[in-house]
Structure 1
Amino acid sequence: MEDLVIGPDGHGRPLWATASPELQHYYDTEWGLPVTDERGLFERLSLEAFQSGLSWATILAKREAFRRAFANFIPDKVAVFDEQAIKLLMQDAAIVRNQRKIEATITNARATVDLRSRGGLSDLIWSFKPANTPRPQSLAEIPTSSPESIALAKELKRQGFRFVGPTTMYALMEAIGMVDTHLMHSHRRGSSGIWPASA
């Protein structure tokens, strides 16, 4: 049970998921569950990029503000953001005001729209699902990248995406259930329905 915190409900969770009620709710109800729709994947890809160098708690607290600022992450709407939109976003204290990440989100929206003629974002991302998933007993055993995340990052960059490095893409793969890095004794292990709890 190393690295698991047993809550009042008797469930074991990793330390990061017990840091706040918001993080626990995210862990219990969303993290690691499959996401296959274009908008949902674009949102998570965007938020993972903004999270780079920051804590996920910071991004999660600003999630609704990000959704308001980026038109609910509807790729077609974000794809037409112009220089004036970037200036306004840089003045929005409710989000992370990093111009390179803001510009990358707009670039990635355009790449997402363009990708539809070649199968779409969902097909591309999920084509890198590995044959096996980690079976971590401790947080130290959870990878930060994989051959698949490296290949996914390379392909997304080839398709015009930015801020999609191997570590960021592995975090995305964890968040959308493509790999199951819940600790083996977590009550959420196997919750994706993609990987059995014992996988």
Structure 2
Amino acid sequence: MSADTPTTIRTPWATTDPLLTEYYDNEWGMPVTDESGVFERLTLEAFQSGLSWLTILRKRPAFREVFADFHVDTVAAFNDSHVESLLHDSRIIRNRKKITATITNAKATINVREEGGLAQLVWSFQPDETPRPLTMDDIPAQSPESVALSKALKKRGFSFVGPTTAFALMEAIGIVDTHIMSSYRRGSSGIWPQ
């Protein structure tokens, strides 16, 4: 089947590199509901701020390695020595604020377990409706729910979780479906109808 037939239309950003295509075809927008999975996506979205998503995908294996497969309790126990080591690891984004935010967010994730956990908290901001974009220009960068999620996370001690990052997280884990309407992936999460 040709890549340009109606059943295989992809969002334009997903066609610029094979790694992006693989991510789009198999992962982006699919439901993630476990603590470690949501923590990983939250971390990667924070690291992506100001950078391309392709850069993050290329470095994701290293991120998984240095952050112990995003095991929250392990990352929460990182100390200054870990931070210094990470700042010298050229395989990841060496940004002190983002590295320390990851550790801070791991600690905050532990603290929200008594409220039902990070995944439950994030998913509680699922809107009643999802965007129905016809083009890339129709896709919002944030929503009232992502603004509220950002505030809720910050109130609980999370950092690097602005409304745009929160919305990107919501897109990545299936809380909203921002696949363009002509995309063959539209509705593939099973959460939203096409």
TM-score, structure 1 as length reference? 0.95
For 2:179, which of 161, 164, 182 is the aligned residue?
Answer: 182
Deviations 1:29-76 (A, max 9, x none): 000000000000000000000000000000000000000110110000
The alpha-carbon deviation at position 7 of structure 1 amounts to: 2.2
Aligned with 2:175: secondary structure? Answer: coil
Whole-angstrom distance in 2 between the partners of 1:113 and 1:155: 15
Runs of 5+ in structure 1 lacking a partner? 1-5
The aligned residue for residue 3 of structure 2 is: 7
Whole-angstrom distance in 2 between the partners of 1:118 and 1:77: 20
Residues paired across the two proteins, number: 192
Aligned with 1:183: secondary structure? Answer: coil
Runs of 5+ in structure 2 lacking a partner? none
The aligned residue for residue 109 of structure 1 is: 106
The aligned residue for residue 82 of structure 1 is: 79
Letter in 2 for 1:104: A
The aligned residue for residue 168 of structure 1 is: 165
The aligned residue for residue 126 of structure 1 is: 123
Q: How does 1:1-199 map to 2 (within 5 A)?
A: 7=3, 11-197=8-194
TM-score, structure 2 as length reference? 0.97
Whole-angstrom distance in 2 between the partners of 1:14 and 1:124: 29
In structure 2, the CA distance between the partners of 1:8 and 1:139, relative to structure 1 (3 Å rule), is closer
Aligned with 2:20: secondary structure? Answer: helix
Q: Identity across aligned pairs (percent)?
A: 60
Aligned with 1:105: secondary structure? Answer: helix
Whole-angstrom distance in 2 between the partners of 1:173 and 1:95: 23
